[in-house]
């Protein structure tokens, strides 16, 4: 399929959705996977660097692919931004697009996600990685020194033998001479190694220790027993080696594409409520020297998927990996949790604060929640106040005529639906953003979040809200 055919199909598909939306303004039900199915180049599985590291609740790649395959929302050379970039699905798709590759900026509060994002979107010569990897493995095999995180619950998650092996590998990665880009690549591989060697359930993002409970079924007992045996028999260095080899192959395919497109992606900040420009350093750190506000009216299109209320514990989900990779201490993780949009960490002193967002429709819903559970109402109020700030900032940096594409899910609070998509639409419209299109994509199995509590529910669909800045 040539470029002209791709452009034509993308435009015609979007025109059809516009016609449907005029008839069903509450939202058109679509499957972005199906919308992109006629483009062989758009099939997504283990392609480029997408699977270089797992990360919870990633945006479905077909969503950015679909909107990037047109000039109706962003010009050919326009700039893309994702202010909740996670592990950078939107950024990666922006710079590898076969017809409309575009430069992209990302904002992300989680240091591990920033590290993954950098590695996923940075071209590195594989030969440099191989040389450094061999040195690291040789040192890890013979050294008596180790770097083990200061975490009092480490014994819950790792055997003493695994702690010793991981500690030696961490020491070797830290002390072997190599470039920051190569070290970050190896740290991403090491991060995955540290999770796979732990006693955590591989199917649950937030670490939950594998255990055989009294009420476990025979099938569950057999599965957990097998997993525990595999963990015990895993050789840390061998696993690390396998992961490095796999990720080098992914990197090679990525390198080939970006050498052609010539586009770049950069993480430039950590807070969607206050968009600033800073430089990303090693280990996912941000260099705050000469930090400045991100330029107003400078971005053509923002494609982003904010937290779904208090529906995902991003920081806690990546705690083990962050500690082993030396990205954050336990205190750092706690502080980041408290400062994150959608946090569940709230001080008792704030529970008596007025539950008001300034939006009567939202406040009415929060008032009903408060009658049953004050703390939960306060958490939801904080989420919507934070999102109100974030939407204001997004509008500020988008160019006149530019586009904001919000991907959000509705969850439940104390067992009742929380219409996040409707409330964020209300906020965007109150700031002068015009609603251009509303789509609803039922969620399939995509490594989304797990149901944490019977009253929290599951995210059943992605609502895709498209706004224009006039």
| Same domain, yes or no: 364 and 395 | yes
Please provide the DSSP assignment of 53-105 as one string.
Answer: S--TTPPPTHHHHHHHS-SSSS-TT--EEETT-TTTHHHHHHHH-SS----EE
Q: Is the per-residue pLDDT at 453 higher than 90?
A: no
Cα dihedral 254, 255, 260, 261, rounded to 10, equals 60
pLDDT number for residue 254:
97
Least confident of 183-197, 282-296, 308-322: 308-322
Strand partners, 405: 303, 466
Question: 463 and 359 in one domain?
Answer: yes
- Total domain count, the chain: 2
Q: Which two tokens stand for residue 128?
A: 């440099």
Q: How far is CA 147 from CA 125, 340, 362, in A?
A: 28, 28, 48
| The pLDDT of residue 351 | 55
Q: Give per-residue pLDDT as tens, 267-295.
A: 999 999 999 999 999 999 999 888 999 99
Mean pLDDT, all residues of the chain: 91
What is the pLDDT, as a whole number, of residue 111? 94
Angstrom distance (rounded) from CA 194 to CA 163: 9
Statement to judge: residues 310 and 360 lie in one domain: yes
How does 298-319 read in b/e, with b if 16+ C-beta sit within 10 Å?
ebbbbbbbbbbbbbbbbbbbbb
CB 52: neighbour CB atoms within 10 A?
23
| Residue 236: band (very low, low, confident or very high) from pLDDT cuts 50, 70, 90 | very high
| Residues 184 and 211 both lie in one domain | yes
Indicate if 305 and 353 belong to the same structural domain: yes
pLDDT tens-digit map of 22-41: 999 999 999 999 999 989 89
Which residue, among 97, 44, 96, has the nearest Cα to 70 in the 3D structure? 97
Residues 396 and 247 in one domain: no
Name the residue range of residue 190's domain. Answer: 126-255
What digits encode the pLDDT tens for the residues 394-410? Answer: 999 999 999 999 999 99
Q: Are residues 106 and 181 in the same domain?
A: no
- The 10s digit of each residue's pLDDT in 345-394 is 555 555 555 678 999 999 999 999 988 988 888 889 989 999 999 999 99
Q: Tell me: the pLDDT tens digits for 94-107?
A: 999 999 999 999 99
Query: What is the arithmetic mean of pLDDT over 442-448?
Result: 62
* pLDDT interval class at 313 (50, 70, 90): low
Q: What is the pLDDT of residue 352?
A: 53
CATH code of 455's domain: 3.40.50.150
Q: Are residues 275 and 424 located together in one domain of the fold?
A: yes
Residue among 272, 303, 256 nearest 439 (CA):
303
Locate 67 and state its tokens. 């909107």
In this prediction, residues 453-467 reach a mean pLDDT of 73
Please report which confidence band the pLDDT of residue 235 belongs to, taking 50, 70 and 90 as the band edges: very high
Write down which residue in 197, 227, 255 finishes a domain: 255
What is the model's pLDDT at position 449?
Answer: 43
Domain final residue, candidates 220, 255, 290: 255
Give the lowest-confidence range in 12-16, 183-187, 306-310.
306-310
Residues 251 and 155 in one domain: yes
Check residue 452 and give its pLDDT. 39
Question: Cβ of 29: how many Cβ atoms within 10 Å?
Answer: 11
Render pLDDT for 7-23 as a digit per residue (tens, 0 to 9).
888 888 999 999 999 99
pLDDT (0 to 100) of residue 212? 83
**Predicted local confidence at residue 460, as pLDDT:** 80
- Strands, DSSP E only, in 201-285? 265-269, 276-280
Given this model, what pLDDT does residue 349 score? 53
Predicted pLDDT at 145: 97
The answer for residues whose C-beta is within 8 angstroms of residue 247's C-beta and 6 or more apart is: 49, 52, 185, 188, 189
Which of 222, 255, 288 corresponds to the end of one domain?
255
User: Do residues 430 and 338 both lie within one domain?
Assistant: yes
Residue 148 has pLDDT above 90, yes or no: yes
Helical axes 180-196 vs 160-175, angle rounded to 10°: 170
Q: What is the pLDDT of residue 459?
A: 67
Is residue 169 domain-shared with residue 102, that is, in the same domain?
no
Co-location of 272 and 359 in the same domain: yes
Give pLDDT, residue 336. Answer: 77
Segment (H or E) for 422: helix 420-430
Residue 106: CB atoms within 10 A of its CB come to 29
Per-residue pLDDT of 291-303, as tens digits, reads: 999 999 999 999 9
Phi then psi dihedrals of residue 461, to 5 deg: -155, 150
């Amino acid at each position: 399929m040539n470029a002209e055919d791709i452009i034509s199909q993308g435009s015609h598909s979007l025109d059809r959705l516009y016609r449907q939306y005029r008839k069903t303004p509450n939202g058109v039900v679509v499957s972005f996977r199906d919308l992109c199915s006629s483009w062989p180049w758009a099939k997504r599985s283990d392609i480029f660097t997408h699977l270089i590291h797992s990360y919870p609740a990633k945006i479905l790649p077909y969503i950015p692919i679909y909107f990037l395959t047109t000039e109706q929302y962003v010009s050919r050379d326009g700039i893309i931004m994702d202010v909740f970039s996670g592990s950078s699905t939107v950024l990666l798709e922006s710079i590898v697009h076969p017809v409309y590759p575009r430069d992209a900026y990302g904002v992300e509060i989680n240091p591990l996600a920033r590290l993954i994002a950098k590695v996923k979107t940075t071209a590195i010569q594989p030969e440099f990685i191989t040389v450094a990897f061999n040195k690291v493995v040789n040192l890890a095999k013979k050294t008596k020194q180790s770097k083990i995180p200061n975490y009092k619950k480490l014994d819950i998650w790792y055997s003493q033998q695994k702690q010793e092996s991981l500690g030696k590998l961490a020491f070797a990665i830290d002390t072997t001479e190599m470039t920051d880009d190569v070290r970050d690549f190896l740290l991403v591989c090491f991060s995955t190694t540290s999770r796979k060697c732990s006693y955590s359930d591989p199917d649950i993002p937030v670490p939950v220790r594998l255990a055989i409970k009294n009420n476990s079924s025979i099938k569950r007992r057999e599965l957990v027993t097998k997993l525990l045996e595999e963990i015990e028999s895993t050789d840390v260095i061998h696993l690390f080696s396998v992961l490095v080899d796999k990720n080098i192959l992914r990197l090679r395919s990525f390198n080939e594409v970006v050498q052609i497109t010539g586009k770049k992606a950069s993480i430039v900040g950590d807070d969607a409520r206050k968009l600033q420009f800073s430089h990303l350093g090693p280990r996912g750190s941000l260099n705050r020297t000469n930090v400045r506000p991100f330029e107003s009216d400078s971005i053509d299109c923002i494609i982003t998927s904010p937290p779904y209320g208090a529906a995902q514990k991003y920081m806690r989900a990546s705690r083990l990996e962050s500690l082993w990779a030396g990205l954050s201490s336990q205190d750092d993780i706690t502080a980041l949790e408290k400062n994150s949009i959608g946090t569940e960490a709230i001080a008792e002193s704030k529970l008596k604060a007025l539950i008001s967002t300034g939006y009567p429709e939202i406040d009415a819903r929060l008032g009903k929640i408060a009658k049953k559970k004050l703390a939960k109402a306060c958490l939801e109020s904080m989420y919507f106040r934070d999102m109100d700030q974030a939407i204001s900032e997004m509008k500020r940096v988008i160019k006149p005529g530019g586009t904001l594409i919000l991907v959000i899910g509705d969850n439940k609070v104390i067992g009742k639906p929380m219409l996040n998509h409707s409330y964020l639409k209300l906020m965007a419209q109150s700031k002068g953003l015009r609603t251009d299109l509303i789509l609803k994509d039922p969620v399939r199995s995509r490594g989304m979040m797990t149901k944490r509590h019977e009253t929290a529910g599951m995210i059943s669909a992605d609502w895709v809200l498209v706004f224009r800045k006039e």
